[in-house]
Amino acid sequence: MEFLKNHIMPVRRSLLSVPTDNRRALEKAPGLDCDGVIYDLEDSVAPEKKAEARDNLANAFSREFPSQQERIVRINPLESGFEEDDLKLVARIMPDAVALPKVEHAGEIAIVADMLARFAPTRPIALWAMIETPKGVLNAASIAANGKDLKCLVVGLNDLRKATSVLPQPGRAYLVPWLMQVVLAGRAYGVDVIDSVFNDFKDDAGFSAECVQGRAMGFSGKMLIHPAQIEIANRHFGPDPHSIKEAEAIVSAFERPEMRDLNVINLDGKMIERLHFEEAKTLLAQAALILARKKSP
């Protein structure tokens, strides 16, 4: 399994948003099986509660948390409600990343990256950009190309629908071209892509269908609003038993000594190329990472 070491990438199937003014939710978050927690200081927190929310967040980061959970702090956009105090707190608690909402230009990422470097000079903190405005979608490629320290694009459909008047329809019909534009932008520049939240947290069937669609479109995972959505997102965005078996067959076929000089093979009537071999190794690495997480306390 030596090859696994070269194929490790963050697993981001499920990223739960937790309002930082909600102490109960903050307490629960580290015990949940989500790949990441987005600690929200933006839309879910009323301006009058911001100071209290920052205290809650500082407390939450002083407690134990599972090492495999990625921790992201979502601040306010530069254009509205932005507070330097949020970044000063970020520099104290050192999350894995800061999520900047409503990003429309790469310059905004550069501004926040520079401020973060000033407040937290010892270790870089990654940036995530929320793409949730018409200009954000139109400029997704240049944001992904030029965003300093940018690791992830997260689509926000509540804001995008509001700004564009696109109705919520089955299959997100009129939104698909924009979603795919964000996927393409992220993938072109090695920036991960996360699908939007799904508001109706009691509708498991509707949520499952949207996860299947998001996975098929190329997203790595979904931003979530409720713990009930975690297991479903993990299942749909993680490798399923059938694809694991298929990947194992591809890897063992290509690793046979007689295959060393071959770039294309016939595996049970299917053409398999070296790119499928690479894909299979990545999938197995992801499966191994998920399995290791389950075993760790």
Q: Is 214 in the site for Mg ion (CB under 5 A)?
A: no
25 binds, among ligand COA, Mg ion, none (CB under 5 to 8 A by kind): ligand COA
DSSP secondary structure, 54-98, as one string: HHHHHHHHHS---TTSEEEEE---TTTT--HHHHHHHHHH--SEE
Q: Which of 16, 73, 131, 157 binds ligand COA (CB under 6 A)?
A: 16
Q: x/- binding map, residues 191-230, to ligand COA, per CB under 6 A?
A: ------x---------------------------xxx---
Among 11, 15, 29, 60, which residue interacts with ligand COA (rule: CB under 6 A)? Answer: 29
| Residue pair 277/263 in contact by the 8 Å Cβ criterion | no
Using CB distances below 5 to 8 A depending on partner kind, what does residue 159 bind out of ligand COA, Mg ion, none? Mg ion
125 binds ligand COA (CB under 6 A): no
Calculate the alpha carbon distances from 292 to 279, 280, 289 in Å: 20, 18, 5
Query: Least CB distance from residue 77 to ligand COA, whole Å?
Result: 13
Whole-angstrom distance, CA of residue 207 vs CA of residue 11: 20
Residue 35 belongs to what H/E stretch?
Answer: none
- Residue 99 binds ligand COA, judged by CB under 6 A: no
Measure the CA–CA gap between 15 and 18, rounded to whole angstroms.
10
- Residue count at the site for Mg ion (CB under 5 A)? 3
Q: Is 104 in the site for Mg ion (CB under 5 A)?
A: no
Q: Distance of alpha carbon 121 from its chain centroid, rounded? A: 25
**Residue 20 binds which of Mg ion, ligand COA, none (CB < 5-8 A, kind-dependent):** none
Alpha carbon distances (Å) from 234 to 124, 174, 282: 28, 26, 17
Please report, as ranges, the residues that interact with Mg ion according to CB under 5 A: 132, 156, 159
Q: Which residues bind ligand COA (CB under 6 A)?
A: 16-19, 24-25, 28-29, 40, 43-44, 197, 225-227
